[in-house]
Homo-oligomer: A and B are copies of this chain.
Amino acid sequence: MRQVAAVGVGMTKFGVSEKTSVEMFAQAALEAIDDAKIKIRDIQALFLGNVFGDFEEGQAVMAPFASSYIGLPHIPAIRFEGACASGAIAVRDAIMWVASGYYDIVIAGGTERCSTMGTSFATRVFGMGSDSYYEWPMGITFPGVFALIAHLYSSKYNIPLPRLKEQMAQVAVKNHDFGSKNQLAHFPKKIKVEDVLGSMMIADPLQLYDCCPFSDGAAAIVFTSYEAARKLTDKPVKVIGFGQGSNGSITHQKDITVIEAREKSAKEAYAMAGITPDDIDICELHDCFTIAEIVATEALGFFPYGEGSKAVEKGLTGPAGKVVVNPSGGLKAKGHPIGATGAAQTYEIVKQLRGECGERQVDGATTGMTDTLGGDLCTVCNIIYQKGW
């Protein structure tokens, strides 16, 4: 297998869009192609993450329409679905097709238009990302799962719930601080701990500002071999590792504060990259809820189990932290167009490693990681990138 590099990235503004999922993806893809300084016709295949296009717009088999919209009607175009990890899974697969030598230039990404669904219908549809026979009929929703995680985290590590809630609120404050510097973010505004603790209760102990929004948006990345990348750009970003892990329904999880799919995925990615968690400078991870960010930083190995919430208090995931987590604003402030999220994480890491993030730029970052979670803890995908110059 040969080395692969990201040579171009594109992303729409996240929020509420009048555009279709295919149109949003085409916009992001054309920006990525332009950024890569390649011709559209150089692209040999398309890899697209999308979760609920059929519910949102009556559109299944979205990938060939996406390739058609960017002027490449005949190239292989594949849709990947792994709930909220769909975009990341598409990116990982695209990387393999280039690594294998079969393709030289491909485009990957994700798109989603959540806003078409309305609130009530969205709860039912997104619930299809849980086990439809053993979880959903019990009435458990995603906020419910993460509320359970928060309660278990509090009791297991002997952190009183009021203190944990404050730590969780600090995750939201940090991510909105970052997001306020990201013009593409859904909610680019700063918030305070009091805003979180004063917001509507969603699933005790999670309040409204502990939860990410659902958004419309798309992101795309052009990948080439690293050798080809060096001819296209003086700032190629290398893929140095990736991993993916699964877990069945949450009834099979030994301890829902320890997401086994993530442990497996991250271990694979670190081994492939030949690095340890200490080598990661920046990480875009899956903060669908504030507690989700805390437990993710533990399974990824940044902090020992039970130390993640304290790390937030100490600022260890902030702008000057040990590892800067979610400099884009994360799902919390940037928004969460579910099928696009994994690709948008790669967008941010590439932009950061190239030093193009303006006010939210993390100085000196050379190694960055993405982390995307799908379903009720059932799919995780990680990708590690490094400055290639």
CA distance in complex: A332, B107 (Å): 36
A61 surroundings in chain B (CB, below 8 A):
81-83, 128-129, 374-375, 378-379
Interface string of A100-140 (1 = CB under 8 A from B): 11100000000000000000000001011101110010000
Interface string of A31-45 (1 = CB under 8 A from B): 000000000000000
A74 surroundings in chain B (CB, below 8 A):
245-247, 260-261, 264
Q: Which residues of A contact B (CB under 8 A)?
A: 1, 20, 51-52, 54-55, 57-61, 63-65, 67-69, 73-83, 89, 93, 96-97, 99-102, 125, 127-129, 131-133, 136, 244-249, 252, 260-261, 264-265, 374-375, 378-379
- CB <8 Å contact, A65 and B100: no
- CB <8 Å contact, B64 and A60: no
- Nearest B residue to A131 by beta-carbon distance? B65
- CB <8 Å contact, A79 and B80: yes
Partner of A68 from the list B68, B83, B89, B248 (CB cut-off 8 Å) is B248
- CB <8 Å contact, B89 and A100: no
CB distance from A312 to the nearest CB of B (A): 28
- Nearest B residue to A65 by beta-carbon distance? B248
- CB <8 Å contact, A246 and B378: no
- CB <8 Å contact, B261 and A68: no
CB distance from A374 to the nearest CB of B (A): 6
CB distance from A184 to the nearest CB of B (A): 25
Instruction: Give the copy number.
Output: 2
- Nearest B residue to A133 by beta-carbon distance? B20
CA distance in complex: A102, B96 (Å): 9
- CB <8 Å contact, B65 and A60: no
- Nearest B residue to A79 by beta-carbon distance? B81
Beyond A54-B128, A61-B379, A78-B82, 16 additional pairs, beta carbon < 8 A: A1-B101, A20-B133, A52-B60, A58-B127, A60-B81, A60-B129, A64-B375, A65-B248, A69-B248, A73-B246, A74-B260, A74-B264, A76-B246, A79-B80, A96-B102, A99-B100
- CB <8 Å contact, B100 and A82: no
- CB <8 Å contact, B249 and A76: no
Q: Do A55 and B58 contact each other (CB < 8 Å), given the known contacts A100-B100, A245-B74, A260-B74?
A: no
CA distance in complex: A292, B270 (Å): 48
CA distance in complex: A245, B67 (Å): 11
Q: Do A65 and B96 contact each other (CB < 8 Å), given the known contacts A76-B244, A80-B79?
A: no
CA distance in complex: A74, B378 (Å): 9
CA distance in complex: A124, B34 (Å): 38
Q: Do A57 and B132 contact each other (CB < 8 Å), given the known contacts A64-B246, A249-B65?
A: yes
A252 surroundings in chain B (CB, below 8 A):
68, 73
Top 7 closest pairs, chain A to chain B, by CB: A68-B248, A100-B100, A76-B244, A64-B246, A61-B83, A59-B132, A64-B378
